[in-house]
Amino acid sequence: MTAGSHRHLRIIAYVVGSLRRRWRKNVAVVLVYGFVIFTLASVVFLTQSLRREAVAALQGEPEIMVQQLRAGRHGLTSIGDVAALTRIVGVREALPRLWAYHTDPASGETLLLRADADSPPGDREVSAGAELLRRRGLAVGGVLRLQGQTGEPLDLTVSGVAETATPLESAALLRVSRAAFRALTGMPDGQATDLALRVRNRRELPTIAEKISQAMPSARPIIRDELVRTYASVFNWRSGVIIAALLVPILAFILFAWDKAAGLSPDERREIGILKAIGWETSDVILLKVYEAVAVSLAAFVLGTLLAVAALALPQPLTVLPALLGWSTLYPPFRPAVALGAYQVTTLFFLAVFPYLVATVIPAWRAATTDPDLVMRA
Amino acid sequence: MRVTRSTAFLGLVLFLAALGVLAGLDATRRSLGAEARFTANRALARWFIFTDPCLFTDARYTRHPSLADRHSPFQDYPLALEHFPSGSLIPPPEHLAAAPRGDAPPNPGSGRR
Amino acid sequence: MIELCDVTKVFNAGQPNEFTAVRGVSLTVNGQGCTALTGPSGSGKTTLLSLIGCMARPTSGRIVIEGDVISSLPERFLTEIRRRTFGFIFQQFNLIRGLSARENVMLPAYPTGAPLRHVRAEADRLLERLGLAAKAEVKVEWLSGGETQRVAIARALINNPTVIVADEPTAHLDTALSLDFMEIMRGLRGEGRTLIIASHDPLVYRSDVVNRVVGMRDGRVTEEEAGPR
């Protein structure tokens, strides 16, 4: 081992001893600072998870969806419109879709009903998402009670577990046959919820959307890629608002940590003077303080981040998830898949370590460059 | 009385207290006149059948929270996540919040409850 | 060999509490002797020791050590010279509380990059020589006055310096321990090291270990005499 690495090892050994000697102060800083990191990390991780969830859900949707508007509200589309749309150049196919929201009579939650190619054959059968079944304590063969259009209850037998792509689907999806769908929603024959369009060339999407508006003036084409951008911006905005709301307590905590870190106590200043007097150079003292600061802020970062990841596993109301979801809390509770972006973690790391390093090293540098004689007398 | 630091401080406190009293008197005067205005506004609201104060104009359901239903935020595509900024500023109103309805019978054959 | 040429040290220059600790001191210390600096408190002894030991820079004048003019050297070279050449024993001992005796002794050697076992062995050897082998692991705040001083002496010796500087070493010691201290100094002088001791204790400056006495008053050298030997 070289002399250089020995020097680092010795200084690290001294740092460990020094941290232990002032353990009360250091533990306090780690806890407080770690809490600040935890708060920020929770918001950042949950935002990232939700954004991934939204994008993942959108991948299963068609490139363009066409909805009919009636009196400014979402109305039903006539299946006859399919012909008009397939005539548009660039549209590969147009399919009518049957889906609707259903308010669960037992819990008031918003569930999704779908009737499509994957639906069970029987008129009184339903295949539901795994999370939904788990929350109701239902298994295959159990009976799910829903409310029909006319108000009287409709019992459906669980025939299987629906294949789901996202946690939200798993918690809210119900697949039923066409007949059951119409009984539950009262949708008349010849009508569909919306039309799903598949296009040949993604770059033609805006042109095709324009042609759709011309062919069906009262219809609203929804482009999937635009939705992805909308979600990115709304989640960015929401997480920013949450952090802004938490800013005052976060700043209070940061001030506390700063106060403990910056400005050496007379004891510490004297110690630096002694080290200089017995032969430590300024660079040795700075290295010492750097290691100290990195140790403390790294501990805070790890603590805060681990707690934030653990908190993601908590039930919904205990996290900031409701603030990020907005009205989506009307859905059954679901846990978005944990997404830890490298970008987010790195940003948090630098946010944690860098300010603390600066707050510790600068006063130390000033003490270390003063003549040790003065420092020891003071 | 000579103006020393203590007298200057007391003077400042008295001055601020006087300002406070004046502000309170002004507020009382305004609120006495307000009732007449409120009556006029109520009549106007009844005539136009206003439903809610217009706090947000971005989403239909936050513009009319009292008329909102459980499905309007999610119409874009199946299981859409609500995406208007005002949705996180104003929560779903009481009559919509997911709560068990006492009159609905439990799921038969589920073995629970 | 240490040479001071017309050295002056002023603290807080330009401010209301300006204070001249050392005025125009010219002094030459040749190697392998023991020089005692005497004088009442406030005479500038401690400041002069700091200047000699490269812990402070003179306001004016030159300090030459072994031919190198150190008073104008940048700080980083100063520290290296301090580490190599000088071993300091402070009046307040200035050991680091919370560390054991052995750890305190090893501290000056940490930045040199020497392997741990060498430094440790040397520290143990020094503690053994000063009769502190049994107390090597004890935290320094638990040691007695005499033991603390011997740890301070051991620390001053860890880098094998040529010059030992001691500031009022017997200030907190009784007669027996003071005599012990001078015996240790005798041994160090016998090894060929140069000693510079500031003290107003006659036990020190009248000791036969001292071969030269320099008196100071109000920051100036007032008298010089060759001591007993």
For the segment C4-43, what is each residue's pLDDT rounded down to a tens digit?
999 999 988 888 888 888 888 898 888 888 999 998 877 8
Using an 8 Å CB-CB cutoff, list chain B residues near A98: none
CB pairs under 8 A between A and C: 83
| Distance between CA atoms of residues A339 and C189, nearest Å | 71
Q: Which of C103, C92, C12, C86 is nearest to C51 (CA)?
A: C86
User: Which of A3, A13, A371 lies closest to C56 in CB terms?
Assistant: A371
- DSSP class of C98: T
Asked if the ipTM is above 0.90, the reply is no
Which whole number is the average pLDDT over B59-74?
Answer: 86
As a whole number, the mean pLDDT across chain A is 87
Which whole number is the average pLDDT over C199-203?
Answer: 89
pLDDT value, residue A80: 87
Give the three-class secondary structure for C97: coil
Q: Please name the chains neighbouring A, where neighbouring means 3+ C-beta pairs under 8 angstroms.
A: B, C
Query: Do A129 and A157 meet the contact criterion of CB atoms below 8 Å apart?
Result: no
Which whole number is the average pLDDT over C105-116?
Answer: 89
As a whole number, the mean pLDDT across chain C is 88
Out of A312-321, A334-343, B73-82, C153-162, least confident range = A312-321
Q: What percentage of residues in chain C have a pLDDT greater than 90?
A: 39
Q: What percentage of residues in chain A have a pLDDT greater than 70?
A: 96
- DSSP class of A139: -
Q: What percentage of residues in chain C have a pLDDT greater than 70?
A: 98
Contacts 24+ apart (CB under 8 A), C140-145: C140/C95, C140/C96, C140/C97, C140/C99, C140/C100, C140/C101, C140/C104, C141/C97, C141/C98, C143/C101, C145/C172, C145/C173, C145/C177
pLDDT value, residue A377: 60
Which whole number is the average pLDDT over A21-47?
Answer: 89
Name the pLDDT band for A112 (thresholds 50, 70, 90). very high
Give the three-class secondary structure for C8: strand
pLDDT value, residue A14: 92
pLDDT value, residue A376: 58
- CB–CB contact A3 C114 (8 Å): yes
DSSP assignments along A158-198, one per residue: EEEEPP-SSHHHHHHEEEE-HHHHHHHH-PPTTEESEEEEE
Decide if pLDDT at A339 tops 80: no
Which whole number is the average pLDDT over C74-88?
Answer: 81
Using an 8 Å CB-CB cutoff, list chain A residues near B89: 241
Decide if pLDDT at B73 tops 60: yes
Q: What total number of domains does chain C contain? A: 1
pLDDT value, residue C81: 80
pLDDT value, residue B103: 46
Out of B32-36, B64-68, C74-78, least confident range = C74-78
Q: Which residue of A has its CA nearest to B65?
A: A327
Decide if pLDDT at C122 tops 70: yes
- CB–CB contact A108 B108 (8 Å): no
Range with top average pLDDT, A201-205, A279-283, C147-151: C147-151
* Dihedral pair phi/psi, residue A244, rounded to 5°: -60, -40
Instruction: Note the pTM of the prediction, 2 decimals.
Output: 0.77
| Distance between CA atoms of residues A100 and A192, nearest Å | 10
User: Which of A61, A106, A238 lies closest to B107 in CB terms?
Assistant: A106
| Distance between CA atoms of residues A333 and A318, nearest Å | 12
Alpha helices in A203-341 (DSSP H): 205-215, 224-245, 247-261, 266-277, 282-311, 321-325
Decide if pLDDT at C196 tops 90: yes
CA dist list (Å): A289 to A20, A98, A272, A354, B74? 14, 66, 10, 13, 54
What part of C 53-82 touches A (C-beta under 8 Å)? Answer: 55-57, 75-76, 79-80, 82
Which whole number is the average pLDDT over B5-31?
Answer: 95
What CATH number is given to the structural domain containing C138?
3.40.50.300
pLDDT value, residue A361: 85
- DSSP class of B54: -
Which whole number is the average pLDDT over C74-80?
Answer: 77
Give the three-class secondary structure for C25: strand
Which whole number is the average pLDDT over C69-87?
Answer: 81
Out of A21-30, A218-227, A334-343, C167-176, least confident range = A334-343
Chains C and B touch (3+ CB pairs under 8 A): no
pLDDT value, residue B105: 46
User: Which of A277, A281, A284 lies closest to C94 in CB terms?
Assistant: A277
Q: β-pairing, C2-11 with C60-65?
A: antiparallel
pLDDT value, residue A88: 86
Using an 8 Å CB-CB cutoff, list chain A residues near B111: 137, 142
CATH class of A77-192: mainly beta
**Sequence spans of domains, chain A:** 3-58+231-377, 77-192
- CB–CB contact A279 C99 (8 Å): no
Out of A179-193, A313-327, B15-29, C107-121, least confident range = A313-327
- Does A125 contact B at CB distance below 8 Å? no
| Better-predicted residue by pLDDT, C12 or C228 | C12
Q: Which of C193, C202, C229, C227 is nearest to C213 (CA)?
A: C227
Q: Which residue of B has its CA nearest to A331?
A: B98
| Distance between CA atoms of residues C183 and A260, nearest Å | 46
User: Which of A57, A194, A238 lies closest to B79 in CB terms?
Assistant: A57
- Does A137 contact B at CB distance below 8 Å? yes
pLDDT value, residue C228: 53
| Better-predicted residue by pLDDT, A8 or B96 | A8
Task: Read off the tokens for C54.
Answer: 């490269």
Decide if pLDDT at B109 tops 50: no
Binning chain B into helix, strand and coil, the percentages to the nearest 5 are 50, 0, 50
Which whole number is the average pLDDT over A257-276?
Answer: 78
Q: Which residue of A has its CA nearest to B89?
A: A326
Which whole number is the average pLDDT over A211-223?
Answer: 89
Q: What percentage of residues in chain B have a pLDDT greater than 90?
A: 22
CA dist list (Å): A211 to A66, A204, A215, A217? 12, 11, 6, 10
pLDDT value, residue B111: 37
Give the three-class secondary structure for A86: helix
| Better-predicted residue by pLDDT, C114 or C226 | C114
As a whole number, the mean pLDDT across chain B is 82
pLDDT value, residue B112: 35
pLDDT value, residue C14: 83
| Distance between CA atoms of residues C207 and C213, nearest Å | 10
The label of the residue with tokens 């949450």 reads: A242
Distance from CA of A328 to the nearest CA of B (A): 6
User: Which of B92, B99, B111 lies closest to A327 in CB terms?
Assistant: B92
Range with top average pLDDT, A27-41, B6-20, C165-179: B6-20
Which whole number is the average pLDDT over A213-233?
Answer: 89
